[in-house]
């Protein structure tokens, strides 16, 4: 992944209507982050990466420099520096060869782009509830890890996906490969979580934490049965257990497949507020290539229909499907020109946003063990144009700030895997 201070400075000038913080955030996410191990020697009491579902790293655990694996923080928060950066929370994707490196400066962790000091960084502290002992013996950090600077509890009920192998797994996704590498590294990594264990963990969160405001329930797709249950029955048991024990305590969100209306109604009836039936990529031909399992089990047109229909149940602004920003430029099948990629993705944004659906994006992380493999990320120009398109279509449709993502706007946003929340303007 290449970037340079000159590329960053040029993008900041060309796309001057975007906050410089959002541009930098996208560049760091695109290129990944290197760490000087000295940083870990002076830092303590921060939360390392919990590997909450995917690896979200640009190298495997085995290929990380000695001392980096399981030491890197979940997120960094950059502020100040010569450019006067507003606080900016960025998810950590390890890439030892990145031009972005966290190293010590005046005795404190700081972000550098090549030799350019960009500002000091903080790491998020270990939440108090992480020290609780669960009766099952599980680590609470494995059951309900926290992200987004403490805002989001991330509950991966099923750490595998039944879309299996080259012909089914989404080609950007390393969920199954990450499970294998975590087990190989002897990490506690529970494949299927018990709802009772989750409720016990959440009891400690409810007692000791006031920062988290939302939870995301997620996991791989269930195409057959899991523990004798189909996908809706499997995931709804968690929503019922959580909402039964802590009704309305957090905003309930779930990343699940696109279901027919009757199943959506069951999820909403159980207390789910935000539905994320991720459509991943808009282009019709690329969807078939990149999401072969979703295409063969449900099909793109049916998937899209279900996403739109589900607004009837969850309400406008409460259906927030993800797309993987940049994967439409993956090779060998993706777009080669930035403007063609943006035109396609914008078409999808206009289609959904004009129907009350608010897609959001995560930044494509070309993990080496996903089927697409390690690839060169799209250029920074792509991400700047994507942010501009997302914001324009969002504003043109007069949509509300997406609920369940914490505060919006530069210096306030905590969503860490893309800058879509950072670019929302105050006047919205
Ligand atoms: S549905 Fe696709 S993106 Fe989701 S876990 Fe399965 S393979 Fe990964």
The pair of three-digit structure tokens given for residue 165, joined into one six-digit string: 């192998």
CA atoms in the 13 A half-sphere facing the CB of 304? 13
276 has which bridge partners?
Answer: 255
Which ligand 1 atom sits closest to the C-alpha of 168? 7
The strand ranges marked E within 260-378 are: 274-276, 322-325, 360-363
Q: What percent of the chain has pLDDT above 70?
A: 99
The alpha carbon of 408 and the centre of ligand 1 are apart by a number of angstroms equal to 28
84-137 residue pLDDT tens: 999 999 999 999 999 999 999 999 999 999 999 999 999 999 999 999 999 999
Instruction: Give every CB contact of residue 184 below 8 A, 6+ residues apart in sequence.
Output: none
Instruction: Report yes or no: 214 and 153 within 8 Å, Cβ to Cβ.
Output: yes
Q: Specify the ligand 1 atom closest to the Cα of 220.
A: 5
Q: What is the pLDDT of residues 124-179, one digit of tens each?
A: 999 999 999 999 999 999 999 999 999 999 999 999 999 999 999 999 999 999 99
pLDDT score, position 1: 58
The residues facing 34 across adjacent strands are 101
Q: What is the DSSP string of 168-222?
A: TS-TT--HHHHHHHHHHTT----SB--HHHHHHHHHHHHHH-SS--EEEEEE---
Atom 2 (ligand 1): residue with closest C-alpha? 170
Distance of alpha carbon 103 from alpha carbon 121, whole angstroms: 10
d(CA 319, CA 402): 9
Q: What is the pLDDT of residues 327-378, one digit of tens each?
A: 999 999 999 999 999 999 999 999 999 999 999 999 999 999 999 999 999 9
Residue nearest to atom 5 of ligand 1 (CA): 220
Ligand 1 mean position to 162 CA, how many Å? 8
Distance 310 CA to ligand 1 centre (A): 20
Domains in the chain and their CATH numbers?
Answer: 5-123 (no CATH), 128-396 (3.20.20.70)
For 16-73, the pLDDT digits (tens) are 999 999 999 999 999 999 999 999 998 889 999 999 889 999 999 999 998 888 999 9
- Contact between 321 and 307 (Cβ < 8 Å): yes
- The preferred substitution site among 164, 167, 180, 220 for testing ligand 1, maximizing ligand atoms within 8 Å of CB, is 220
Ligand 1 centroid, distance to 158 Cα (angstroms): 11
Question: Is residue 288 scored above 60 in pLDDT?
Answer: yes
Confidence of residue 247 (pLDDT cuts 50, 70, 90): very high
CA distance 101 to 65: 13
User: Ligand 1 centre and the CA of 280: distance in Å?
Assistant: 10
Neighbours of 46 (CB within 10 A): 18
**Quick check: 254 pLDDT over 80?**
yes
Cβ contacts of 186 within 8 Å, gap of 6 or more: none
Mean of per-residue pLDDT scores for the chain: 96
The confidence score (pLDDT) of residue 17 equals 97
With a cut of 90, say whether residue 427 has pLDDT above it: no
Output the pTM of the full model.
0.96
Looking at residue 2, its pLDDT comes to: 76
Q: Which of 66-98 are b and which e, b meaning 16 or more Cβ less than 10 Å from the residue's Cβ?
A: eebbebbbbbbbbbebebebbbbbbbbbbbeeb
**Kind plus residue range of the DSSP H or E element containing 265:** helix 261-269
H or E stretch covering 119: strand 116-123
Taking the CA of residue 172 as reference, the ligand 1 atom at the shortest distance is 3
Structure tokens at 363: 């930044």
428: pLDDT strictly greater than 50:
no
State the distance from the centre of ligand 1 to the C-alpha of 343, rounded, in angstroms: 25
β-strands 322-325, 274-276 pairing: unpaired
CA of 28 to the centre of ligand 1 (A): 24
Ligand 1 pocket: which residues have CB below 6 Å? 161, 163, 169-170, 173, 175, 220-221
């Amino acid at each position: 992944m290449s970037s340079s201070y000159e590329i960053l400075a040029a993008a900041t000038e060309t796309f001057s209507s975007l906050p410089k913080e959002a541009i930098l955030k996208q560049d760091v996410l695109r290129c990944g982050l290197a760490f000087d191990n000295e940083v870990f020697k002076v830092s303590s009491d921060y939360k390392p990466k919990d590997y909450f579902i995917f690896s979200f790293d640009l190298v495997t655990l085995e290929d990380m420099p000695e001392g980096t694996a399981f030491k890197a923080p979940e997120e960094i928060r950059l502020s100040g520096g010569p450019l006067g950066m507003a606080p900016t929370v960025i998810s950590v994707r390890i890439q030892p060869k990145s031009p972005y490196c966290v190293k010590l400066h005046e005795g404190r962790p700081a972000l550098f782009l090549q030799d350019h000091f960009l500002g000091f960084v903080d790491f998020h502290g270990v939440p108090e509830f992480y020290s609780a002992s669960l009766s099952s013996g599980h680590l609470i950090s494995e059951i309900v890890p926290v992200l987004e600077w403490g805002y989001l509890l991330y509950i991966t009920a099923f750490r595998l996906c039944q879309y299996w192998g080259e012909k089914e797994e989404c080609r950007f996704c390393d969920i199954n490969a990450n499970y294998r590498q975590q087990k190989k590294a002897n990490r506690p990594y529970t494949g299927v979580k018990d709802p009772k264990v989750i409720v016990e963990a959440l009891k400690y969160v409810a007692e000791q934490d006031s920062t988290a405001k939302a939870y995301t329930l997620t996991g791989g797709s269930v195409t057959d049965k899991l523990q004798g249950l189909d996908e809706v029955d499997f995931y709804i048991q968690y929503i019922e257990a959580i909402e039964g024990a802590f009704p309305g305590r957090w905003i309930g969100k779930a990343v699940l497949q696109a279901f027919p209306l009757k199943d959506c109604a069951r999820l909403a009836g159980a207390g789910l507020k935000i539905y994320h039936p991720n459509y991943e990529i808009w282009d019709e031909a690329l969807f078939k290539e990149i999401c072969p399992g979703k295409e063969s089990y449900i099909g793109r047109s049916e998937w899209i229909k279900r996403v739109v229909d589900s607004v009837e149940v969850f309400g406008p602004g409460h259906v927030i499907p993800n797309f993987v920003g940049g994967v439409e430029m993956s090779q060998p099948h993706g777009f080669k020109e930035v403007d063609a990629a943006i035109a396609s993705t914008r078409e999808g944004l206009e289609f959904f946003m004009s129907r009350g659906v608010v897609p959001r994006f995560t930044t494509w992380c070309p993990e080496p063990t996903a089927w697409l493999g390690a690839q060169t990320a799209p250029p920074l120009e792509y991400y700047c144009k994507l942010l501009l398109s997302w914001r324009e279509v969002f504003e043109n449709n007069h949509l509300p700030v997406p609920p369940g993502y914490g505060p919006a706007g530069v210096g306030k946003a905590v969503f860490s895997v893309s800058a879509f929340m950072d670019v929302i303007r105050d006047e919205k």
